[in-house]
Structure 1
């Protein structure tokens, strides 16, 4: 049983914590206010690939405070969104403390990402976002080439897969997830990283956003967006992602080769 969620008000922002781990930061008055850097990185990738305000079909693997789902609703009204969040108590407390906006099309399903994605129709999502952590780590079942194959099945043509990955210097874990994403998406697939410079330059543990598509990524737009952020942020292009992880093999459930993401330093 997980710890109960704690809600802490800090000005216009409500922080949600479970145990020692901050889960989300939500502003009800300004859903476009994104506090966590990695959430800003997820958002800039979405904006680079999909023009506002056209609705998107979005599947979120991991929900917590529904920060990004609220942002999608605010920037692309009418977007049908599915959120796979197995922690029912967390979802109930979030709905109570931080009500969703009127007119939203956000549907939270009490399922883990593994079975939740498997139950979705093929080509039913323009965007799939993986942001699921248990005790500070991405569960191993959400990064195998088999599960990523299910993500690829669910993505419509022109679709985008984004994953928030915590990793150590060297980004060896992220390289294996990127390798699995390319294998799942098939020939021509592209992967890129977006993250703080200190993470991309292997100067410390941190979060990196993996972007993966079957189509060319809009690198110019992504780089232009990172230049507007307050903290130094960069983009690692597809060729460099491959060269950095030249020997990185996908995680595979069939081969018994799986791993949670690296634990953050204590």
Structure 2
């Protein structure tokens, strides 16, 4: 006699969270795919059981820096957990301990229940979490080979995560030669990107940026990914990239006149 098939957990729906509401929307084009929306803004694309799927371009660009870096990110901290798509990819691709940091406790609990990601989720504000690791490094993977940042308040990253002092804290938490990679939402002229690159250049030996050509040229609105390390950077991705070593004149031109931010 056959055992009855276990009922499939129904996760699609709208749920209250601390910062408003979250919706899990089934993708009609892909069986088993879901979009996590936070306050009606798409935040993550998750296929439970298939962590190698990175649907969003910028996540693939972050992975392009991580996969090309000399230091394999087997221990990483991911600021901005949401559906844990990127942390789950890192766990699948690189192994080791992956810690995702999410400010909304109710969203974190929803994601644990709905997607069961293979990573630890810490409930904390991103800057406070990084600062805490300086005094209590045992709260993070040992060592921390990489830190990723995908944190937004509306269309922008909170200023506290874009300053020279924050970058110094990141560098102190990273193991020597570790990698910092961040998703940046920007506009024509790349004001945000230029300020962050200028700040990172004060702290790290190598900086780089990847994104569509129209974004790198400062002609469009969208996302780019910036990276920094004390080890040389490389990138394996489907979009162009510029690095301080390979495109020094381009980088110097973008940083020129940009004021690094401070706390």
Gapped regions of structure 1 (runs ≥ 5): 254-266
Q: Which residue of 1 aligns with 2:8?
A: none
Q: Distance in 2 between matches of 1:113 and 1:124?
A: 18
Quote how far apart the aligned CAs of 1:201 are. 2.1
After superposition, give the CA deviation of every residue in 1:165-190 in whole Å (9 maximum; x if it has no partner). 001112121111111112123xxx11
1:119 aligns with 2:132: yes
Cα distance change of structure 1 residues 206 and 33 upon mapping to structure 2, 3 Å threshold? same
Q: Which residue of 1 aligns with 2:35?
A: 15
Quote how far apart the aligned CAs of 1:136 are. 2.7
Q: Which residue of 1 aligns with 2:207?
A: 191
Q: Which residue of 2 aligns with 1:64?
A: 82
1:216 aligns with 2:232: yes
Q: Which residue of 2 aligns with 1:107?
A: 120
Contact 2:99–2:120 under 8 Å retained in 1: yes
**Equivalent of 2:62, from 30, 39, 42?**
42
1:87 aligns with 2:104: yes
Q: Secondary structure at the match of 2:262?
A: coil
Q: Which residue of 1 aligns with 2:11?
A: none
1:33 aligns with 2:53: yes
Of structures 1 and 2, the larger Rg is shown by 2
Contact 2:22–2:40 under 8 Å retained in 1: no
After superposition, give the CA deviation of every residue in 1:87-146 in whole Å (9 maximum; x if it has no partner). 11111111111112xxx4x22111111110011146841101011112232111111111
**Equivalent of 1:97, from 89, 114, 126?**
114
After superposition, give the CA deviation of every residue in 1:169-226 in whole Å (9 maximum; x if it has no partner). 12121111111112123xxx111111122211223111110010112212xxx2xx32
Structure-1-length-normalised TM-score = 0.83
**Equivalent of 2:170, from 151, 175, 196?**
151
After superposition, give the CA deviation of every residue in 1:214-257 in whole Å (9 maximum; x if it has no partner). 12212xxx2xx32xx3xxx110221122221211121011xxxx
Q: Secondary structure at the match of 1:120?
A: helix
Q: Which residue of 2 aligns with 1:258?
A: none
Aligned residue runs from structure 1 range 125-164, under 5 A:
125-164=144-183
RMSD, matched Cα: 1.7
Q: Distance in 1 between matches of 2:120 and 2:133?
A: 13
Contact 2:101–2:126 under 8 Å retained in 1: yes
Q: Which residue of 2 aligns with 1:264?
A: none
1:73 aligns with 2:91: yes
After superposition, give the CA deviation of every residue in 1:23-81 in whole Å (9 maximum; x if it has no partner). 10011232111111100100111001157xx661101111000011110111122x112
Gapped regions of structure 2 (runs ≥ 5): 1-17
Contact 2:66–2:73 under 8 Å retained in 1: no
Q: Which residue of 2 aligns with 1:243?
A: 253
Structure-2-length-normalised TM-score = 0.84
Count of matched residue positions in the alignment of Structure 1 and Structure 2: 233
